[in-house]
């Protein structure tokens, strides 16, 4: 439906969060959108990582041996009580063997690091956390090369104090925790979380497999993963950072490695920012794209309470809710994305910027959406299939902006400065409650078949100065580029509805091919702009026929056109022209 212009007022209780001021909507024709210099991750608390964490003297290592229900160690720093061993001093400890229904506890007030070298350690505990770091300045867990290590808890925990609710994970730390090493660690968290740190959590390597009754891996202050192979099956969220008391914390940084998540909740969720540099990600959330999510459980692929920045990586996301969702701003500067979702594929509440990347959105409600601000596409190869709108910048109609400020239904802006965009949409192909500026690139739209939607829908203006635009759909509410454009365009309305797959061919009197295009759905409107269009030239429109050219997304290039029926002709007398054929 054509959007009504309206104004939403909000008295600012908060400053505009994290990324600065949005583009001035009063001069849309002077702007080209937002670039990567305008969207960066916010201020983050420093991590606890230190190169010295990974260096120790082998002669100083203390051995702890697990044998069934018994534990042995020759060190005074290890207190043994039945099947429980408590480490009371900083240092480096090697844990080997199997412990049935026992517990390793770290509880020291020392200011130095505690290292736990897991050397084929198998620890189970039926009523508590099998590996519990109650107090330590910092703990590093080392996964020895060539070893398989295993932690398992029970379905319920017994606490000394009934008011206690911690520990609540198979591997639980109240302080900073690091996991690294080339070995393997398997965690079966039957009670609650798999791995949980109340402070920061860093994973730098290892093959880690986690199953959890709630969240898979949680670092409250921050979760940083720089490498490793991680597989998570979680009844809650997969990766999580949830400190909501400090805006510099509650963030997730993923720099490399391979992550596979199957979560009933969100696959990756941060209270503040998610920053991804590289890596391979396979994320399945909720019931996947076949079943829409509900209001009770968030089932998003990648979710940030503040902002998201992705600079690279390979992503396969199948989600019931949004595949990539930012409550603030979102920047994608590279990567490959295979997305199927029952909701939005890429969503930001504020500015959304795509600088590069390959996007294959095979299923979505809306493909790319900013609720309250602008969408800028500077480059990339983008394919979208949407059951509603392909690209949407709606201006926000159902609620007020989450970060304060002022917005109206007509201030949102879509900037297309390059790239290749192909959209197949049941709703509007492009729906902007504001303005569109296109300076370069290719945009192909296979739009709606019903007249209350259109291939291109905007409220204020569409300035086109370069690039190729082909947008086919219904004619009831069709629009093309506006009079502020500097490149010629034509909006053609056909006398009758044309069949899906029927070629539309435009050429000059000398036979120069201007367009050969086959919409994938029935259509009776086609908006077209190309640098080849010129003032005063007579163009001939043919329907049907065939072409030997190479076809991509319905657009034929090269080859020879064998004429069908000449349908009509036109000549351009204005920069943006409506033609009833």
* pLDDT (0 to 100) of residue 188: 98
- Decide if pLDDT at 24 tops 70: no
- Decide if pLDDT at 444 tops 50: yes
| Same domain assignment for residues 230 and 195 | no
Each residue's pLDDT tens digit, 548-566: 999 999 999 999 999 999 9
| Same domain assignment for residues 330 and 185 | no
| Same domain assignment for residues 175 and 118 | yes
- Decide if pLDDT at 2 tops 70: no
Asked whether residue 149 is assigned to any structural domain, the reply reads: yes
Asked whether residue 98 is assigned to any structural domain, the reply reads: yes
* pLDDT (0 to 100) of residue 403: 34
| Same domain assignment for residues 279 and 176 | no
| Same domain assignment for residues 190 and 279 | no
- What's the whole-number average pLDDT of the chain? 91
Of 138, 170, 202, which marks where a domain is finished? Answer: 202
DSSP line for 7-25: EE----SSPPPSS-PPP-T
| Same domain assignment for residues 148 and 242 | no
Each residue's pLDDT tens digit, 62-106: 999 999 999 999 999 999 999 999 999 999 999 999 999 999 999
| Same domain assignment for residues 198 and 219 | no
Of 335, 359, 393, which marks where a domain is finished? Answer: 393
Taking alpha carbons only, the member of 460, 455, 458, 483 closest to residue 470 is: 455
Each residue's pLDDT tens digit, 335-346: 999 999 999 999
Of 393, 410, 445, which marks where a domain is finished? Answer: 393
The domain containing residue 188 runs over which residues?
A: 55-202
Asked whether residue 20 is assigned to any structural domain, the reply reads: no
| Same domain assignment for residues 142 and 246 | no
| Same domain assignment for residues 134 and 189 | yes
pLDDT cut 90: percent of the chain above it: 87
Asked whether residue 208 is assigned to any structural domain, the reply reads: no
User: Which band of pLDDT confidence, cut at 50, 70 and 90, is reported for residue 43?
Assistant: confident
The rounded distance, in Å, linking the Cα atoms of 352 and 330 is 5
Asked whether residue 33 is assigned to any structural domain, the reply reads: no
* pLDDT (0 to 100) of residue 404: 36
| Same domain assignment for residues 160 and 134 | yes
| Same domain assignment for residues 66 and 192 | yes
* pLDDT (0 to 100) of residue 410: 67
Q: Give the global pTM.
A: 0.91
- Cα 128 to the chain's mean position, in Å? 35
Asked whether residue 525 is assigned to any structural domain, the reply reads: no
Sequence-distant (6+) residues with CB within 8 A of 163 are none
Question: Could you say which DSSP state residue 572 is in?
Answer: B
Number of domains in the chain: 2
- Decide if pLDDT at 29 tops 50: no
CA–CA distance from 479 to each of 272, 356, 398, 421 (Å)?
A: 39, 28, 25, 18
* pLDDT (0 to 100) of residue 581: 85
Asked whether residue 441 is assigned to any structural domain, the reply reads: no
Query: What is the number of helices (H) and of strands (E) in the chain?
Result: 0, 57
Higher pLDDT, 111 or 31: 111
Asked whether residue 542 is assigned to any structural domain, the reply reads: no
Sequence-distant (6+) residues with CB within 8 A of 278 are 255, 256, 311, 312, 313
* pLDDT (0 to 100) of residue 163: 83
| Same domain assignment for residues 87 and 227 | no
């Amino acid at each position: 439906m054509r959007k009504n212009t309206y104004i939403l007022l909000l008295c600012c209780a908060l400053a505009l969060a994290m990324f600065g001021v949005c583009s001035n909507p009063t001069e849309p024709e002077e702007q080209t959108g937002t670039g990567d210099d305008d969207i960066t991750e916010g201020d983050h608390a420093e991590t606890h990582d230190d190169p010295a964490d990974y260096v120790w003297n082998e002669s100083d290592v203390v051995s702890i041996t697990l044998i069934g229900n018994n534990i042995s160690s020759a060190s005074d720093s290890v207190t043994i009580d039945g099947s429980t061993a408590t480490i009371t001093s900083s240092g480096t400890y090697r844990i080997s063997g199997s412990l049935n229904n026992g517990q390793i506890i770290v509880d020291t007030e020392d200011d130095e690091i505690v290292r736990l070298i897991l050397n084929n350690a198998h620890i189970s505990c039926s009523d508590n956390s099998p590996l519990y770091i109650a107090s330590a300045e910092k703990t590093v867990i080392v996964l020895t090369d060539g070893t398989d290590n295993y932690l398992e808890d029970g379905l319920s925990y017994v606490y000394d104090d009934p008011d206690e609710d911690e520990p609540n994970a198979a591997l639980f730390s109240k302080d900073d925790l690091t996991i690294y090493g080339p070995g393997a660690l398997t965690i079966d968290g039957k009670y609650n979380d798999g791995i949980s740190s109340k402070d920061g959590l860093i994973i730098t390597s290892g093959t880690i497999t986690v199953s959890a009754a709630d969240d898979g891996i949680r670092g409250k202050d921050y979760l940083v993963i720089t490498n490793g192979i991680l597989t998570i099956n979680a009844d809650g969220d997969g990766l999580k950072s949830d400190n909501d008391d400090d805006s510099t914390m509650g963030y997730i940084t993923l720099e490399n490695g391979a992550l596979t998540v199957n979560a009933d909740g969100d696959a990756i969720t941060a209270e503040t920012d998610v920053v991804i540099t590289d890596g391979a990600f396979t994320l399945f959330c909720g019931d996947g794209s076949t079943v829409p999510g509900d209001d009770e459980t968030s089932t998003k692929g990648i979710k940030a309470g503040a902002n998201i920045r992705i600079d690279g990586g390979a992503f396969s996301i199948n989600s019931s809710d949004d595949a990539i969702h930012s409550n603030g701003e979102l920047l994608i500067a590279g990567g490959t994305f295979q997305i199927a979702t029952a909701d939005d594929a890429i969503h930001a509440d504020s500015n959304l910027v795509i600088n590069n990347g390959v996007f294959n959105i095979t299923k979505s409600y809306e493909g790319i959406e900013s609720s309250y601000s602008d969408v800028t596409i500077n480059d990339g190869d983008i394919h979208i299939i949407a059951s509603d709108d392909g690209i949407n910048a709606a201006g926000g109609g159902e609620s007020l902006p989450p970060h304060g400020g002022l917005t109206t239904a007509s201030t949102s802006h879509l900037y297309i400065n390059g790239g290749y965009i192909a959209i197949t949409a049941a709703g509007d192909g492009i729906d902007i409650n504001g303005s569109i500026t296109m300076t370069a690139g290719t945009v192909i739209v296979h739009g709606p078949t019903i007249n209350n939607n259109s291939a291109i829908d905007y409220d204020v203006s569409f300035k086109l100065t370069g690039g190729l635009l082909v947008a086919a759909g219904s004619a009831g509410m069709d629009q093309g580029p506006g009079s502020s454009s500097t490149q010629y365009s034509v909006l053609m309305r056909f006398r009758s509805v044309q069949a899906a797959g029927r070629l539309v061919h435009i050429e000059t009197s000398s036979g120069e091919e201007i367009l050969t295009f086959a919409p994938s759905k029935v259509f009776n409107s086609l908006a077209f702009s190309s640098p080849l269009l010129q003032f005063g030239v007579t163009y001939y429109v043919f329907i049907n026929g065939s072409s030997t050219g190479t076809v991509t997304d319905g657009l034929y290039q090269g080859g020879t056109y064998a004429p069908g029926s000449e349908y009509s002709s036109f000549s351009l007398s204005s920069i943006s022209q409506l033609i009833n054929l």
